[in-house]
């Protein structure tokens, strides 16, 4: 099961102090989907890995509420204009990740970091039974991962095969089979160690030819 605890946070944008729930421990007994979405038995931990200030809407992981947070005047302006209007109504897990992705984008974070947040927003949508929003976030995540892969040093060489597979799987799950196949076909060319990375080549072939929803 997932264990939660209350933590005290201070918002670096508006200086509001508030309490939030954080994950102490979890499990992966619920299995892993072919887009790497690990499922826990019992309460799903994802919504509790991102925190949101209920006054201004600033969102991020616990470390984003420390003194090291990168808060510029421009970021503050974006947060007050775009996130504050929806913060007071309470946010779902996917909305918290979307807000965190916007904050990361405004901070000029690496595309891969923004993509990871958008992917987790899509995963939250699965539990929220919102298939339209799920497709929306999968597409946005795929575009950001593509941006990371297109940059010279956006993705370490040894991780490019796995990320190329993930982009293919994201497009497959939104129904763009042609684009999915194109990405699945690039996986073998990105492999750096055929012995240890055979699993990702096999997964790409599987999802291209006879897709499954779960690993294992």
Scanning the structure block, which residue is given the tokens 């990105």? Answer: 190
One digit per residue, the tens of pLDDT, for the chain of length 216 reads: 789 999 999 999 999 999 999 999 999 888 999 999 999 988 899 999 999 999 999 999 999 999 889 899 999 999 999 999 999 888 999 999 999 999 999 999 999 999 999 999 999 999 999 999 999 999 999 999 999 999 988 899 999 999 999 999 999 999 999 999 999 999 999 999 999 999 999 999 999 999 999 997
Residue 208, pLDDT score: 98
Question: In terms of Cα–Cα distance, which of 55, 48, 50, 127 is closest to 85?
Answer: 55
Q: Distance between CA 157 and CA 114 in Å, rounded?
A: 19
Which tokens go with 88? 């007071």
Question: DSSP strand E in 46-170: where?
Answer: 51-52, 59-60
Residue 28, pLDDT score: 85
Question: In terms of Cα–Cα distance, which of 93, 91, 147 is closest to 115?
Answer: 147
Q: Distance between CA 26 and CA 180 in Å, rounded?
A: 32
């Amino acid at each position: 099961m997932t264990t939660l605890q209350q933590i005290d946070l201070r918002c670096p944008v508006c200086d509001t102090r508030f309490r939030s729930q954080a994950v102490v421990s979890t499990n992966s007994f619920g299995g892993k989907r072919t887009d790497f979405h690990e499922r826990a038995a019992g309460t799903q931990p994802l919504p509790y890995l991102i925190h949101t200030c209920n006054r201004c809407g600033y969102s991020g992981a616990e470390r984003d509420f420390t003194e090291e947070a990168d808060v510029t005047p421009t970021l503050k302006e974006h947060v007050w204009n775009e996130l504050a209007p929806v913060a007071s109504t309470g946010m779902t897990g996917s909305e918290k990740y979307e807000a965190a992705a916007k904050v990361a984008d405004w901070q000029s974070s690496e595309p891969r970091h923004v993509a990871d947040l958008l992917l987790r927003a899509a995963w939250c949508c699965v539990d929220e039974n919102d298939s339209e929003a799920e497709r929306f976030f999968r597409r946005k995540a795929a575009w950001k991962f593509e941006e990371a892969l297109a940059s010279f040093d956006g993705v370490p060489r040894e991780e490019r095969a796995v990320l190329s597979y993930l982009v293919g799987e994201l497009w497959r799950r939104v129904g763009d089979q042609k684009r999915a196949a194109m990405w699945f076909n690039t996986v073998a060319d990105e492999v750096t160690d055929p012995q240890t990375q055979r699993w990702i080549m096999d997964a790409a072939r599987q999802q291209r030819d006879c897709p499954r929803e779960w690993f294992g």
